[in-house]
Amino acid sequence: MHRSIVLFDFDGTLADTFETGAALINEFAGRFGYKTIDFAKNRNLSARELVKLSGVRWWQIPRLVRFFRKESARNAYNIQPCQGVPEMLRNISQSADLGILTTNTTHAVECFLRNHNLESYFGYVKTGVPLFGKRRALGSAVRLLQKKYTLILYVGDEIRDIEACRAAGVEIISVSWGFNAHEVLAEANPSVAKSAGELEQLIVRRIDA
């Protein structure tokens, strides 16, 4: 057993789902009565800010999350990994245990891991985390995992990941190829990777510290 575990976000971090997810959300804007959003031009906004921009009411969020999880599941078998991710995971697994903590569904994650032969890398998987419930989920993960590991590290692509990790007392490395842009992530977190190779270097450096 390794002394460190690296927990990964799924969408936009391991899985290349940004464009399909944005298109899906805009496709149903008329049906649910919110505004469409140019996600590519608003990568500096947090998830909360985008919710406000879209006009979605907070009480609508649970229903919308359930709906989009169900719709996304239809495309689960077509999800591709972000560039360089499989090789990065293979290399990191030599010096740390790996896990996933995500808002996406068990079905989507299992399909992705199975289709790309990544199942063996992950010993801890937590799915179905509420959209704004990562702080609590991370707290639960820490209570469980700190019995086995001296270092728990999280990797995510959003401002809300940074906020959740800070609240839960978890170290985080951000990646800039997903939901939020490099500039806004770097303002909140000095540790930001622009590529899977750079992420690997940052993780190994922290593990070896």
User: What does the angle CA 99 – CA 105 – CA 110 come to, to the nearest 5 degrees?
Assistant: 60
The set of residues, in sequence order, having a beta carbon less than 8 Å from that of 63 and lying 6+ positions away, is none
Active site residue 157: no
Task: Give the sign of the dihedral formed by CA 132, CA 140, CA 97, CA 151.
Answer: positive
Rounded Cα distance between 17 and 25, Å, is 12
Query: What DSSP character marks residue 175?
Result: E
Nearest to 132, CA basis, from 158, 155, 154: 158
Length of the chain: 209
Rounded Cα distance between 18 and 15, Å, is 8
Q: Where are the alpha helices (DSSP H) in the chain?
A: 18-27, 29-32, 47-54, 61-73, 85-92, 106-115, 134-145, 159-168, 182-188, 196-208
Q: Which of 9, 11, 157, 161 is catalytic?
A: 9
Catalytic machinery residues: 9
